[in-house]
Amino acid sequence: MPDINKIREDFPILKRRREDDGKPFIYLDNAATSLKPIQVIEAVVNYYEKHCANIHRGVHTLSQEASQLYEEAHDKVAKFIGAKNREEIVFVKNTTEAINYVAYGLNWKPGDEIITTVMEHHSNIVPWQLIRDRFGVKIKFLDLKDKWYLNLEQLEDLITEKTKLIAVVHVSNVLGTINPVEEICKIAHEHEIPILIDGAQAVPHLPVDVKKIKCDFLAFSAHKMLGPTGVGALYIREGLGEEMCPTFGGGDMIRRVTLEKSEWNVMPWKFEAGTPNIAGGIGFGAAVEYLEKLGMEWVRNHEKELTKYLLERLHEIPKITVYGPEDVEKRGGVVAFTVEGLDSHEVAMYLDELENIAIRSGVHCAEPLHMKLGIPSSARASVYIYNTKEEIDIFCDTLEKVIKELT
């Protein structure tokens, strides 16, 4: 079993102390972005110090080395999610960009329909609204059932012969709900409809295998799974990439260019136009290696243990309402809550001021879901591999103190 203290030693920022009182940072904002281990930082620095060159552009040594490191990173990410090979892995800027690649890569016609859900992040709503307004398609929303879960019984009613795509979040960034994506994919494929999974909150936290899920597209970000910002991945099932239009045109995504027409490069480079975030991609590969050494089963079990403890502690505190499933088998390590009489931003601000605790506040880029829940905003604590029960105790004790003093 991994040693949590040794894990924490790998994260330089956890050694930082607040200047005025020397208190350590307690980082519970992992759903927004994760901290970075020294192994990832060194991988990025190593590229700039020893291999800094553009990829796929030169025959000189530095270019060949950089190209190899960047391509190997694709291999690592492919293996991590169970993809067949690097040809199924397109490096993008983040989950948002990955979803937009699908949105603008499909061939839309007026009257086509998209099905998504009310618990989506804005990144899986706004692109479809833009597509709707541009191409005249219709968006349908799968509703909730039993407060925290998707109403799968409604899905069959929403599907028609005009349904072009189903786009569903794997793990809600507010409720923490783990959606039954295998079942949803099965329903989609029974109707011969491609399906996109937003894996931003899933891939970093639990074992994800695209062969098992049988999704057509999977979008996720490196920065939520120990990697650098500005890089992510879009899994495109073998064969689908050839049918899609490239989202951006330019260098490296072409095989041949004349003044009259262009021929596209092979997958995945067809979708990676221009100079990419080479250092970020290499760091992404290092992050995947780090998680693989821990084992994603351990990552999941560690988070379940912390989440169970966090829920137990929060339920002991008066004036708190917690959102999401109680069963940790059905939720990720994201816990959103409200405090009676306090705005979520006030809660976050006082936690930061008193004990150097970082949580999230607001609508978490999921405003429609908050409207569905009937709340203007929520506070959100989210755990990851380096968090401990001791940190949860400090968080909950401080939260209780804030509530007693301000309400």
CATH of the domain at 383: 3.90.1150.10
Indicate whether 138 and 161 sit together in one domain.
yes
Q: Across-strand partners of 195?
A: 166
The contacts of residue 59 (CB under 8 Å, 6+ apart) are none
Q: What would the mean pLDDT of 290-319 be, rounded to a whole number?
A: 98
Closest CA to 181 of 332, 322, 30: 332
Share of the chain above pLDDT 70, in %: 100
278 in the same domain as 320? no
Is 174 domain-assigned? yes
Report the pLDDT value the prediction gives residue 388, as an integer from 0 to 100. Answer: 98
In this structure, what DSSP letter does residue 230 have? T
Secondary structure, 3-state, 154-220? HHHHHCCCCEEEEEEECECCCCCEECCHHHHHHHHHHCCCCEEEECCCCCCCCCCCHHHHCCCEEEE
Last residue of a domain, one of 276, 293, 310: 293
Report how far residue 335's alpha carbon sits from residue 325's, in angstroms, rounded to the nearest whole number.
Answer: 10
State how far the alpha carbon of 112 is from the alpha carbons of 27, 128, 162, 193, 321, in Å. 43, 11, 5, 12, 40
CATH number of the domain to which 275 belongs: 3.40.640.10
Identity (one letter) of the amino acid at 238?
E
- First-to-last CA distance in the chain? 43
Same domain, 198 and 267: yes
Q: Which domain holds residue 89?
A: 41-293
- Asked whether residue 401 is domain-assigned, the answer is yes
Same domain for 287 and 302, yes or no, is no
Catalytic residue list: 365
Same domain (yes/no): 72, 131: yes
Question: pLDDT tens, 112-138?
Answer: 999 999 999 999 999 999 999 999 999
**Structural domain includes residue 86:** yes
User: Both 278 and 326 in a single domain?
Assistant: no
Asked if 324 and 177 count as a contact pair (C-beta separation under 8 A), the reply is yes
Mean pLDDT over 86-90 rounds to: 98
**Quick check: is 365 in a domain?**
yes
pLDDT of residue 371: 97
| Residue 249 and residue 393 in one domain | no
* pLDDT at res. 178: 98
In this prediction, residue 383 has a pLDDT band, given cuts at 50, 70 and 90, of: very high
Tens of pLDDT, residue by residue over 209-235, are 999 999 999 999 999 999 999 999 999
Instruction: Tell whether 321 and 250 lie within a shared domain.
Output: no
* pTM reported for the whole predicted model: 0.97
Which string of DSSP letters, residue by residue, matches 326-355?
Answer: S-GGGB-SEEEEEETTB-HHHHHHHHHHHH
Residues 288 and 299 in one domain: no
- Claim to verify: residue 160 and residue 214 sit in the same structural domain: yes
Element (H, E) at 128: helix 126-135
Residues 60 and 207 in one domain: yes
Q: Does a structural domain hold residue 74? A: yes
Q: Which two tokens stand for residue 267?
A: 């997958």
Last residue of a domain, one of 241, 273, 293: 293
pLDDT band at 352 (very low <50, low <70, confident <90, very high): very high
Q: Is residue 285 part of a domain?
A: yes
Q: What is the pLDDT of residue 164?
A: 98
Q: Is residue 35 part of a domain?
A: no
Report if residue 402 sits inside a domain.
yes
Residues 105, 193, single domain; the answer is yes
Q: What are phi and psi of 36, to 5 degrees?
A: -115, 130
Contact criterion met (CB below 8 Å) for 280 and 230: yes
Domain count, the chain: 2
The per-residue pLDDT for 378 is: 98
Torsion angle defined by CA atoms of residues 247, 240, 117 and 96, in that order, rounded to the nearest 10 degrees: -30
Angle at 83 between CA 149 and CA 219, to 5 degrees: 45
**Longest CA–CA separation in the chain, Å:** 72
Identify the band that residue 236 occupies on the pLDDT scale cut at 50, 70 and 90.
very high
**pLDDT tens digits for 156-176?**
999 999 999 999 999 999 999
How confident is the model at residue 1, as a pLDDT? 85
- Domain stops at, among 268, 293, 318: 293
What's the pLDDT score for residue 57? 82
Of all helices (H) and strands (E), which one includes residue 379? strand 378-382
Cα angle 73, 231, 139; round to 5:
120
